[in-house]
A and B are shown apart, each in its own frame.
Chain A
Amino acid sequence: MHWDMFNLQDKKGMKMKKILIIIFLGLFSTLSAFALDGNEILRQVDRNLNPDSFEMYRKLINIEPDGTKKEFVMFSVKKGKDKIASVFLSPASEKGRSTLRIGDNMWLYIPNVGKPIRITSLQSVTGGVFNNSDIMRVDYSAEYNCEKIETIDTGYALYLKAKLKTVAYETVTMFIDSEKLLPYKIECYAASGMLIKNLYFKNIKDFGQGVIRPALIETDSPLYKDYKSYIVFANVKKRDLADEIFTLNYMHKIDGLR
């Protein structure tokens, strides 16, 4: 009798355990599905922002509080998730400088110096609000995992966390237009949780070959009060690119790709 009672309690316990496991698994799979959705949306956003292999021209504009303006024009080529090479076309003082990024590795080639030197993501080859990570942007999905996704009035909010500590911003909140699957605002945060900068994606434009993306990124930063920076995109075109272009030895020849 005593033994039976124990058995009965055991059976009840087992049943409870099974129910708990089923609830747990259910919850876990739901969470996983959300995470997968978020990362899938992020990958789709990357592809909508740019093709897998392409070239583009960009104008970077830094505006100081007194209205002084500095402009930089760059020609860039990007291949895959994490390879991008660029050369400055103007102003004259920067002309011929080129940058290369392969994953977390970044180099700067200055014609005077005559050899590439390693640089970091938080430095800025142009000065102003944009840092090297903004200028040599690789796919967001190469650097971030989506930890949470929220549906909001205007689409989705993706809460992204850096995969590695080498990434410039520890966390990023990306606000996405759910119809176009393109970002309209990105908030970039440091590891401390401090907001470093806001990126606003504007002026969606058809560049041809199915490339429809914002032609303007506006930036402001609480660290640079009253400073504004813009990136204007032009001639975003699909292009097959050899892997050899994304090497140190090719850095001084990037202008020849135009």
Chain B
Amino acid sequence: MKHGFILLTAWFMIVSFYGTAVSQNTDDDLIDLDLDFKIEEVEKKPYSINADIETKETIRFFDRDALLFKQRYLDKKNEATAWQTDLDLTIEGQFQKDFIKLYGRFNGLLYYNDDENFESERKVEEAYISFQPSFSLAIDAGKKVHKWGKGYAFSPSAFFSRPKNLDDPDATLEGYYSLSADYIKSRGGILQTIAITPVLMPVNRDINHEIGPKDEFIWGGKFYFFTLDTDIDLMFLVSDNLNNHFGIDFSKNLTPSLEIHGDAALVKDYHQYIIDEYGNTSKQEDTVFNFLLGLRYLSRQDTTYIFEYYHNGQGYSAREYETYLSLIERGFDQYLNTSSQSLISQSKTMSAYYNQQAAMRDYLYLKVSQKDPFDILYFVPAITVVYNMEDQSASITPQLTYSPLTNLTVDLKTGFLIGKNKTEYGEKINNAKVVLSIKYYF
């Protein structure tokens, strides 16, 4: 923990010093409002490199009575809190010459916590080559994020991308290796724009192996239409070994300040793995339907409301989820009475399904954010609520974001999980979390 504090303090000092230095520079550079005012960016270079560095301190407050805490730690952890310090560097670069563009984004994370000491991770989030022979056509090959769907927090129709983090839906995702194209046709009349985006994604032991166990080529596509001031997408994914997916989404402004969006997907022959309270697993096969309906509203006071209802057909019912938690409860009792971890181990084999975010069927999401309150520019307080409609448990996240200097963002986020016994948010490992992050872009 001490290391964490030292690392955080050191980075805070570096960032503060740099920020002050930049600020002083800017203040000295008085505005020149005459006609010779230069915009340096007019001179374009064929390449560009950008980066951001983020230091983050996270404090997790354990719920020692929670079943997921017992599943993970049994009775072997005495601390009430866990601290982690992260230092995260993202570098993004691109080179463009005529109709060829190369793009890459790389991330390195160094973190410290009491359990693991210092650890690091590195990943290539995106790296692709893009051929753009005309305004209508682009062909991309390499590792790329394909973010489909209109949902803000949930994305039932994002068939070719990793799931969003509900804690931070805007966060950058890591892409998959694919070959894709984008053909756009714009015309007058009611149907103003049509765009077609075919995607081919190989899956084998070397690339994209997270998607499926067998070697194959997954393919699919998206058709976009802009008509009657409405965005509409039709999407599909076809696979020999995975489930075929079909999706549709739309987005439209009902009034200048009110937007409505929807997103729906049909997953053919979806296999759901279920475990009973004795640790026996079974597989159910069914065609399931996932959908969301959302609104985004901006009030006259500059308050933004984002609301979504999400039905997750691939999720577990309240009864199935409670059965899983009962298994953990029985497993913990078994461990206390006999020191045997067999039931707990059996529950852990299914944790990838049951412990994932939004593992159940019906959720409400609400984010309320206020721009520049009390005349403080670049200050945005917000609160986010994720409510599980089936078991009435919830996650509540107040957040303060402030950008006091150009390229510097300070973010303080707290999270509280509320729920009765044997509910999704009531049985998570933590019952509260505080995250302070400072991010600098350069």
How many residues from A make CB contacts under 8 Å with B?
Answer: 66
Chain B positions 289 through 306: 1 when the CB is less than 8 Å from some CB of chain A, otherwise 0 = 000000010100010100
Establish whether residues A67 and B27, one from each chain, have CB atoms under 8 Å apart when the complex forms.
yes
Residues of B near A121 (CB, < 8 A) are 256
Task: Give CA–CA (A63, B101) in the complex, Å.
Answer: 36
A186 within 8 A of B: no
Within 8 A of A (CB), among B140-157: 145, 147-149, 152
Which residues in A have their C-beta under 8 angstroms from that of B31? 61, 63, 69, 230
CB contact under 8 A between A242 and B171, given known A247-B193, A256-B96 = no
Given contacts A112-B172, A127-B371, A127-B378, A122 and B27 within 8 Å (CB-CB): no
Contact B135 A93 (CB under 8 A): no
Near B by CB (< 8 A), chain A positions 163-177 give 165-168
**Bound Cα distance A120, B251 (Å):** 13
A120-161 CB contact bits vs B (8 Å, 1 = yes)?
111110011000000000000000000000000000000000
B345 within 8 A of A: no
Q: Which of A84-120 contact B (CB under 8 A)?
A: 89-93, 95-96, 102-105, 110-115, 117-118, 120
- One of B207-215, B224-232, B309-317 at the interface: B224-232
Decide if the interface of chain B is mainly helix, strand, loop or mixed: mixed
| Residues in B whose Cβ lies below 8 Å from that of A124 | 371
Q: In the complex, which residue of chain A has the Cβ closest to the Cβ of B152? A: A117
B302 CB to nearest A CB, Å: 8
* CA A243 to CA B135, docked complex, whole Å: 9
Stretch at the interface among B37-45, B236-244, B354-362: B37-45
Interface membership of chain B positions 129-140, coded 1 if the CB is closer than 8 angstroms to chain A and 0 otherwise: 000100110100
**Interface: B342 (CB within 8 A):** no
**How many Å from the CB of B211 to the closest CB on chain A?**
18
The smallest C-beta distance from B126 to any residue of chain A, in angstroms, reads 9
Q: Contact string, B303-331, partner A, CB cutoff 8 A, digits 1/0?
A: 01000000000000000000000000000
Q: Given A104-B256, A247-B193, A69 and B27 touching (CB < 8 A)?
A: yes
A196 to B231, alpha carbons, bound, how many Å?
31
- In the bound complex, do residue B41 and residue A89 qualify as a contact, i.e. CB atoms below 8 Å apart? yes
Chain B residues whose C-beta falls within 8 Å of the C-beta of A103 in the assembled complex: 229
Residue from A69, A93, A115, A118 within 8 A of B253 (CB atoms): A118
Given the complex of chains A and B, what is the CA–CA distance between A61 and B26 in angstroms?
12
Do B135 and A216 touch across chains, with their CB atoms under 8 A apart?
no
Chain A positions within 8 Å of B195 at CB level: 247-249
Question: Is A17's CB within 8 Å of the partner chain B?
Answer: no
| A112 CA to B145 CA, complexed, in Å | 10
Return the contact of A112 from the options B152, B171, B229, B442 (Cβ within 8 A).
Answer: B171
Q: Verify A93–B35 contact, CB threshold 8 A.
A: no
Whether B34 is near chain A, meaning CB under 8 Å from some CB there, is yes
B406: interface (CB < 8 Å): yes
Give B129 Cβ to nearest chain A Cβ, in Å. Answer: 14
Instruction: Give the 4 A-B residue pairs with the shortest CB-CB distance, closest first.
Output: A243-B186, A114-B147, A92-B441, A93-B441
Give the interface of A toward B (CB within 8 A): 57-59, 61-64, 67-71, 73, 75, 89-93, 95-96, 102-105, 110-115, 117-118, 120-124, 127-128, 165-168, 203, 205, 215-216, 224, 227, 230, 232, 234-235, 242-250, 253, 256, 258
7 A-B pairs in the complex with CB atoms less than 8 angstroms apart: A92-B441, A115-B149, A167-B256, A232-B37, A244-B184, A245-B135, A247-B195
**B residues in contact (CB < 8 Å) with A:** 23, 26-27, 31, 33-35, 37-39, 41-42, 44, 48, 50-52, 92, 96, 101, 132, 135-136, 138, 145, 147-149, 152, 170-173, 182, 184-187, 192-193, 195, 197, 224, 226, 229, 231, 251-253, 255-257, 259, 261, 296, 298, 302, 304, 371-372, 375, 377-378, 403, 406-409, 441-442
